[in-house]
Structure 1
Amino acid sequence: MTVTHTLDELQKSTEGLSALCRQKFFGAAKELDAVITTDPAHVGYLSGYRSILQDVTLYAQAVIATPERLVLVTGASDAPAALERLSEPSAIWRYGLFYVSSAPGAKGYEEMPQHSASFSDALSAALCTFDMRGLRVGMDVRNASTAHGIQQSLSGASFVDPASAFRTSRATKLPGELHLMRHASRITDEAICGILPMIRPGTTELEIASEISRHMVRHGGIARFVVVTSGERSSRVDAYARHKVLQDGDLVRLDIGCTVEGYCSDMARTLCVGMPTDVQDSRYAALLAGEQAELAALRPGILAKDVYDIAMRTVRQGALPNYQRNHCGHGIGLHSHEFPLIGPESQTVLEPGMVFCVETPYYEIGWGGMMVEDTAIITDTGHELLTSSARALHQPSAIHP
């Protein structure tokens, strides 16, 4: 399996995506005239810009958007990178002091609004350029002080919680979003295929995690979680890889995800170092059967709770009759776990354009853990599988001499 298009082609295919996302959001939020968000995922969703600073510290950003206009409030050092996505300098409001020069004829700080001393000052200055008297404004702001400042700046507006509109807008994905998710899933799948020869005694968890991360980064992904746990450690949910050396008979549980332009992948496989025991084999067979039955059920019109019931019933017919699980999958998009959930109470009807991870994990402290997880897009007639690497517990390419 190989990446079938270049990163340049990927970028070209998704140009203008943020404008389409804004259009879709306001289509789902007909009661809103504007929205203000400080949520990093929604800043990226509406503007197309995702700051690396969000990965290293608590970082204040905001987007103010109407159907016709968008501005970004961000730190001064961030402005040149933001200008790559928001090609209009007047849309970027800076706070703080940072020095970046511009060559003759190049757009830069000089074309941007005057910088402010603080985030709140820059946000207030940007808000003053909007006339929102009598308008309904979505307030997607968790910080109480920031929300209070916005309300004071827009005293003539009424405020609405836009959470439902964001959830509705994000539940199904646009073609450009799906393109990014296909790429993210493909390079994650490839990364797992690439480490199969490393599943042998003497390899460490960290060596495997490093190779998985390398492949994803090389192909435009940002490694977000690389869970590689082996032996009894495979029961440790969402644990970091360690210098633990693989031994014959170990289970190796891989739960891997990256992002590409903000869009997530999430998949899992379990491998055995050498031949599995009868217990390992029978338990995994039950989990895999449940996950595959769940995957086969994905289609428009089915309830998410019914997909969950199919998975649970199938697993319990095998070697794990007392299997328990609070959910057997979840939506994926700007976050690796998002609405809708595939759970016992979920009344969500699956629709074309939704993207789901389906999974049937099992964890037993003192014994180990195993899981298989795949990602699929709901289509008009069924689903499109995004992760297709082999799911066998014992794979020939993992055999050690």
Structure 2
Amino acid sequence: MSYADLALLEQQTADLAAACRAKFFSTAPELDVIITMDPVHVGYLTGYRSILQDAGPYAQAAIATRDRMVLITGASDAAAALEQLDDASCIWRYGTFYVGATAGVASYADMPAQGENYVDTVVSALRSFDLRGVRAGLDTRDERLTRVIWQQFPQAAFQNGAPSLKRARATKLPAELAFLRHASHITDKALESVVPMVHAGVTELDIAQQITGTIVRGGGIPRFVVVTSGERSSRVDAYARNKRLEAGDLVRMDIGCTVNGYCSDMARTLTVGAPSHEQAERYAALLAGEQAQIAALRPGALVSEIFNIAIDAVRKGALPEYQRNHCGHGIGLQSHEFPSIAPDSDVLLESGMVFCVETPYYELGWGGMMVEDTAIITDDGHELLTCSSRELYQVK
């Protein structure tokens, strides 16, 4: 996907959000309205994702019916929200923040009156809906806000809305898949780009910098860049350090980014110099497990069977005692989402689901290695989104 293609997709974000809302209500016909305070679900239903969420917990909400949507956000955030949503009337803001506007430009003056605080603004926005006798899904972990909503709107029948949102998000719409393809593509290219620069003496931070730059140039936002070497490669999800690579080191890279909120997650392993016999044999076992999983991805497959296929294949190789709590996971607006490829899952794969499949191995004092890829479940099998070599890279 080119920059032009990505720009066109970004322009269609509002249309995608409308399609996601329609999909939600088609999969949750028992609900008339959904109220969410989960930032992931706010983005899913509105199409707006606030950069303020990256700075820590930030109070936002979305309310949606089959024919209307509103966003509740902080006053400082409203200008960015307006750029994305292009409809001032649907943005309810709380707090005080001053942003001027040139005459004739949509502005804060076109929005509903600002609220003093988050809770009061949520209540005010809800009052703009007719909730008499409606079946309302409420998706929040804020017990205080939940009690306030129950007290203020006794005429509505509330139920937990989170399971319905999870069910709707399990399969992806075509525009969602396009974002996931782009996120996976630039992550794939980022990992490929480091191979020529890696050698003894280069630091983990040097590699992380190269990966991060490639992702940003491709239009993505780096989310986790795990580069660990030598014994540190056994340290799960550790930050890169100013550690220089040495001959014989394993280098484990586990990388993810987002494009318009949609995630990538993939991993590769390399060795500095030729791998030892043990390194090569262990990696071959892990690769066999991951490839066996990939071959089994198809609609109707049982998730727990995919897990067992991976474990059995690895154990036939140089890791006969191999253990994992999962061998992959769904991916979309979160890097780990429903369903997990786990031994106790009774979920059947469906066309439109997207999975990361992986077979990592970590041994403190020795090192770690992994291979991880992303695939869409299609009507007749799967589509791999990550295409770089899965072999154990060897660098000088």
Match of 2:106 in 1: 107
Q: In 2, distance between residues paired with 1:189 and 1:339?
A: 23
Q: Deviations over 1:291-350 (max 9, x none)?
A: 001111101111011111111111000000110111111110111111111111111111
Q: Structure 2 unaligned segments of length 5 or more: list them.
A: none
From the superposition, tell whether residues 86 and 3 of structure 1 become closer, same or farther in structure 2 (CA, over 3 Å): closer
Alignment of 1:189-268 (within 5 A): 189-268=188-267
Aligned match of 1:291? 290
C-alpha distance in 2 between matches for 1:309 and 1:134? 47
Q: Which residue of 2 aligns with 1:330?
A: 329
After TM superposition, list the pairs within 5 Å mapping 1:1-400 onto structure 2: 6-12=5-11, 14-395=13-394, 399-400=395-396
The answer as to whether partners of 2:252 and 2:369 remain within 8 angstroms in 1 is: yes
1-structure distance, mates of 2:128, 2:291: 54
Distance 1:16 1:9 in 2: 12
- Contact 1:137/1:159 (<8 A) preserved: yes
| 1:235-276 deviations in Å (ceiling 9; x for gaps) | 000001110111111000000000111111000000111110
Q: Deviations over 1:63-100 (max 9, x none)?
A: 01111111111000100110122211011011111111
Q: Measure how far apart 1:147 and its partner are.
A: 1.0
Deviation at 1:153, TM superposition (A): 2.3
- Secondary structure of 1:313's counterpart equals helix
**Cα RMSD after superposing both structures:** 1.2
Structure 1 window deviating more from structure 2 (280-289 vs 82-91): it is 82-91
Contact 2:9 2:175 in 1 (8 A): no
Note if contact 1:128-1:153 (Cα within 8 Å) is conserved in structure 2: no
Aligned residues: 396
Per-residue deviation, 1:57: 2.4
Shift of 1:6: 4.1
TM-score (norm 2): 0.98
Contact 1:3–1:187, Cα closer than 8 Å, also in 2: no
Counterpart secondary structure, 2:71:
strand
User: Distance in 2 between the 1:57 and 1:392 partners?
Assistant: 38
Read off the aligned partner of 1:87 and give its amino acid letter: D
Aligned-pair identity in percent equals 61
The whole-number CA distance in structure 1 between the counterparts of 2:344 and 2:277 is 35
Q: After alignment, is 207-216 or 314-323 more displaced?
A: 207-216
Q: Report how far residue 217 of structure 1 moved.
A: 1.5
| Counterparts of 2:371 and 2:321, CA distance in 1 | 19
Aligned to 1:334, what secondary structure does the other structure show?
Answer: coil
Contact 2:3 2:219 in 1 (8 A): no
Structure 1 residues 11-67: Cα deviation after superposition (integer angstroms, max 9, x where no partner): 245550000000001111111010110000000000000000000022100001111
- Secondary structure of residue in 2 paired with 1:195: helix
> 2-side partners of 1:3 and 1:266: how far apart?
20
Name the CA distance, whole Å, in 2 between partners of 1:244 and 1:283: 24
Tell me, what secondary structure is at the counterpart of 2:334? Answer: coil
Contact 1:274–1:394, Cα closer than 8 Å, also in 2:
no
1:222 offset after TM fit, Å?
1.1
CA contact (8 A) 2:285 2:315 kept: yes
Structure 2 CA distance for partners of 1:340 and 1:119, relative to 1, 3 Å: same
Cα displacement (A) at 1:394: 2.8
